Structure 1
Amino acid sequence: MRLKIEKMGINGEGIAYYQKKPVFIEGALPQELVEIKDLQGYGTYYKARIEKIVKESRDRIRPACAFAHRCRACSMMHLAYEKQLKAKRDILAQTLMKYAKIEPSRIEEIIANEQPLHYRNQCKLPLQMEQGKLCSGMYLPGSNYFASVKNCVIHDPLIETVRKEVLHILNKHGIKAYDYHKKSGMRSLIIRTFQGKCQVTLVSGEDVLTQELIADLLDCEAIVSLWQSINTVKKSVDVFGKKMIFLGGAKQLRFLFGGYRMQINPRSFFQLNTKQAEVLYQKAASLLTGKRYGTIVEAYSGIGAISLFLHEHADQVIGIESIADAVQNAHAIASLNHIDNVKFVCGDAAEELTYLSKKGKIDLLVVDPPRSGLDYAMIGTLLQSKIQEIIYISCNPATLGKNLDLLQQRYEVKTIIPIDLFSQTAAIEAIVHLKRKR
């Protein structure tokens, strides 16, 4: 069967139509004519695979990564970068129109990533045995199939250097992959890097690592912080386990970001593209230029990076974060930068926001939620509040659209700014500025 690809889906797949239903075809590009195989129905849509590309798009390029076809994490790497930007803006526009009836003309031009390769500052890689040696790789999307990956062109080059050094040392010491029955062995490797320094976390079973192994790892020049995380939960959503063991070096990884001194624990969230994160936060702060607020609240504040960028625009900034480690981290960062009008509370975003709203006036709320977006409790709190302005930073057009559809009962969408943080993938960030209707 031959199908013409009409557009691109939210996950970077090509979309054709068969029997008036969409057919999602991984790896296909708009305007291509493809022969398909393995057509499977899922009620309102189909999925299929490419058998042959009959007519190729002029925008198709050879992927920069030799393993792109194996790990399949970079769903747009076969598309020229300038066309990736257009596709992402189109996906955002179509999604916001579908869910919130927002006209595409209201979306600004997408802010490009000046470094579309080698930008990622962290990896979280599963470990398996291959030909008797421990190796790192990826699980293919939607499966438990492990594919070893020898090199990743999305990672900061230092991550790749340290990843190879760590694997060499682990193999030298005879470390094996995790055994679910014995609850021992190495499960995942996490590396985070900023400005030439790395924080490494080994996720394992109930293993006691030898001092010789620890010493060899700390001898790696770039590794300045070394941790172990014990995770024996069979189907764990979180890569990290609840038990964290500090092995050596510095407990926090320190770096400069937007002129601020930062320090971060292994479990604390930080945007995966350092340079574009700075662009993102500066762009959000620019929406406040010339304004002065009494109280700004940042929900889902993490280590409080956005709060630092906004603190000069308010008498006080209050961050809300549910992870205690991140709150402690955020307080330490504010103190490190001698910023005294920013504080952080640990708790559920909706509950704490309700409490703060009753306690005093909130002029501006900044939210940067996970991919699941704002839950109904948070939406309900916002609709009942008297908060005048919201800056919503989103990483998922679908949940953003659904949230905006509800928020438009009380708020008017003023600005939508898309930003490319995760080049080669279909992921897109967006800043939305909303003001309460009179």
Structure 2
Amino acid sequence: MKVTIKKMGINGEGIGYIDRMPVFVPGALCGEEVEITVTEKNGRFAKGKLVRILRRSPKRVRPICSIQRRCGACPYMVCDYEEQLRFKQEDLRQSLIKYAHVDPRKIEPIRPSEKTLFYRNQCKLPCGMAEGELVNGMYMPNSNIFVPMETCFVHEKDLEIMRKRILKVLNRHQIRAYDWHQKRGLRFLILRGFHGKFQCTLVSGEEEFPSAMIEELLALEGMHSLWQSVQTQKKSAELFGPKMELLGGERYLHLQMGEITLPISPRSFFQLNTQQAVAMYACIAELVGDRNALVVEAYSGIGGISMALCRQAEEVIGIEIVKDAVLNARACARDNGIDNVQFLCADAADKLLYLSKKRSIDVLVVDPPRSGLDEAMLAVILRSKIKKVIYVSCNPSTLSKNLAVLQDRYDVGRILPFDMFPNTAKVETIVELKRR
């Protein structure tokens, strides 16, 4: 069946039409004519498998990665970077118009990433066996088919070098991939690195690793800390298990962000593209402005944004429900000598409601998960008298739906998209909201 691709989907797939029904075709680009096999069809849409490209896009390029199509993690690696940015800008534009009726002229040009390859400072890779050896890989989209990986071209080069060294040590000690029946073996290799130092977490079954292997891993140049996390739940969305044990080295990996040093634990969230994260923090600080009495950050995590705003206000309060992250943030503020920032362990909506009744909040910064702000948080913001909201989003769809609600009391100001993840369909966006 022949289909002409009219636009791109939110996951990087091409979208064409069969009898006015949208059909999603992974691997196809806008403007291409392709031959497909329909793999799924319901009353609202269909899915198709790309068989052959009949008319190629002039923007199509050969991907550097040999498993790009099977892996599925980098759908835009098949087109040049300028076209990737255009797709992301258009995805954001369409979402904001469709759900929030925002004037698209408010959307500024997307900020490109300085690096389009070798930019990720962390990997979280499943483990499998290939030719008798433990390897990392990825699962094909919507399947249990494991695709072994030799090199990932979006990981920082030093991170890839360390990952391969770790695998060599694990194979020398005959570590095997996880066995669901025995509940033994390695499930995931999680590795993060800054400034040539690395933090490794081995997510495994209920077993003790050989002491000789631990010593050999800790002896690798740049290995700063080594952890084991036991995770035996089969259907858990959480990679880490409830048990975390420091096998050796330092508890935290330290990241220098301007004048602030952030101590980061294995569970801590931090942006995967360090250079773009620095640019985003600077943008947030610019939008927040100076001479604020009180700035509040909801979903503050390890407190990076809150501490970056310490000079913008007399007082900054971060709210986070994860206890480990709050303890991490408090220690960070103390170690950096920052005394006008405090962190509260609480539900974000509940604590914001309490604060908004007691205090006058100048600026609220929210950086929610992909699911966006829940109804409780939206209701609190609307009922409050917070003067300005800075919304940091990684999902144009949930961002737009939230803005549709918030516009009842707030006007949308600047909209600043960032390309945090080149070669993927994801886009990060900062939105300024001013109370009417």
Report the TM-score, using the length of structure 2 for normalisation: 0.98
Distance 1:288 1:363 in 2: 9
Alpha carbons 2:412, 2:434 under 8 Å: kept:
yes
- Partner of residue 390, structure 1: 389
- Partner of residue 366, structure 2: 367
| Matched letter for residue 209 of structure 1 | F
Between 125-134 and 269-278, report the one with greater CA deviation.
125-134
| Matched letter for residue 44 of structure 1 | R
State yes or no: 1:286 paired with 2:272: no
Distance 2:222 2:148 in 1: 24
Q: Secondary structure at the match of 1:392?
A: strand
- Partner of residue 200, structure 1: 200
The superposition leaves residues 181-233 of structure 1 with CA deviations (integer Å, 9 ceiling, x where unpaired) of 22111111000000111000000111111211110100110211110001111
Q: Secondary structure at the match of 2:77?
A: coil
Alpha carbons 1:35, 1:53 under 8 Å: kept:
yes
The superposition leaves residues 391-433 of structure 1 with CA deviations (integer Å, 9 ceiling, x where unpaired) of 0000000000110011111111011000001000000000000
Distance 1:69 1:17 in 2: 22
Distance 1:140 1:434 in 2: 39
Alpha carbons 2:330, 2:343 under 8 Å: kept:
yes
Distance 1:218 1:76 in 2: 37
Distance 1:189 1:376 in 2: 36
Query: How do 1:404-419 residues align onto structure 2 when only pairs under 5 Å count?
Result: 404-419=403-418
Distance 2:308 2:155 in 1: 26
- Partner of residue 110, structure 2: 110
Alpha carbons 2:370, 2:393 under 8 Å: kept:
yes
Alpha carbons 1:93, 1:103 under 8 Å: kept:
no
1:334 positional shift = 1.0
Between 124-133 and 113-122, report the one with greater CA deviation.
124-133
- Partner of residue 257, structure 1: 257
- Partner of residue 300, structure 2: 301
- Partner of residue 247, structure 2: 247
The superposition leaves residues 83-118 of structure 1 with CA deviations (integer Å, 9 ceiling, x where unpaired) of 111110000000111111112221001101011110
Query: How do 1:13-32 residues align onto structure 2 when only pairs under 5 Å count?
Result: 13-32=13-32
Alpha carbons 2:38, 2:46 under 8 Å: kept:
no
- Partner of residue 119, structure 1: 119
| Matched letter for residue 279 of structure 2 | V
| Matched letter for residue 417 of structure 1 | L
- Partner of residue 423, structure 1: 422
- Partner of residue 220, structure 1: 220
State yes or no: 1:435 paired with 2:429: no
The superposition leaves residues 105-136 of structure 1 with CA deviations (integer Å, 9 ceiling, x where unpaired) of 21001101011110000000111122211111
1:64 positional shift = 2.0
Distance 2:404 2:70 in 1: 38
Distance 1:426 1:161 in 2: 26
The superposition leaves residues 249-301 of structure 1 with CA deviations (integer Å, 9 ceiling, x where unpaired) of 11100121133111111001001111100001101111134x31111110111
Alpha carbons 2:27, 2:69 under 8 Å: kept:
no
Q: Secondary structure at the match of 2:78?
A: coil
| Matched letter for residue 83 of structure 1 | E
| Matched letter for residue 395 of structure 1 | C
Q: Secondary structure at the match of 1:421?
A: coil
- Partner of residue 345, structure 1: 344
Query: How do 1:132-143 residues align onto structure 2 when only pairs under 5 Å count?
Result: 132-143=132-143
Closer, same or farther in 2 for the Cα pair 1:39/1:187, shift >3 Å?
Answer: closer
Instruction: Please list every run of 5 or more consecutive structure 1 residues that lacks an aligned counterpart in the other structure.
Output: none
Distance 1:212 1:227 in 2: 15
Distance 1:48 1:103 in 2: 34
| Matched letter for residue 178 of structure 1 | Y
| Matched letter for residue 158 of structure 1 | D
- Partner of residue 7, structure 2: 7
Alpha carbons 2:69, 2:75 under 8 Å: kept:
no
Alpha carbons 2:297, 2:318 under 8 Å: kept:
yes
| Matched letter for residue 131 of structure 1 | E
Distance 1:348 1:183 in 2: 35
Q: Secondary structure at the match of 1:287?
A: helix
| Matched letter for residue 261 of structure 1 | T
| Matched letter for residue 313 of structure 1 | Q
1:5 positional shift = 0.7
Report the TM-score, using the length of structure 1 for normalisation: 0.98
- Partner of residue 316, structure 2: 317
Distance 1:298 1:179 in 2: 42
Distance 1:354 1:276 in 2: 32
- Partner of residue 378, structure 2: 379
| Matched letter for residue 404 of structure 1 | L
- Partner of residue 145, structure 1: 145
Between 137-146 and 218-227, report the one with greater CA deviation.
137-146
Distance 2:10 2:92 in 1: 8
- Partner of residue 189, structure 2: 189
Q: Secondary structure at the match of 1:200?
A: strand
Distance 1:177 1:26 in 2: 30
1:39 positional shift = 4.2
- Partner of residue 268, structure 1: 268
Alpha carbons 1:414, 1:433 under 8 Å: kept:
yes
Alpha carbons 2:110, 2:418 under 8 Å: kept:
yes
| Matched letter for residue 367 of structure 2 | D
Q: Secondary structure at the match of 1:111?
A: coil
Distance 2:93 2:192 in 1: 33
Distance 1:294 1:334 in 2: 19
1:381 positional shift = 1.1
1:55 positional shift = 0.4
Q: Secondary structure at the match of 2:54?
A: strand
Alpha carbons 2:288, 2:363 under 8 Å: kept:
no
| Matched letter for residue 336 of structure 2 | N
Closer, same or farther in 2 for the Cα pair 1:39/1:206, shift >3 Å?
Answer: closer
4+ long deviations beyond 4 Å: none
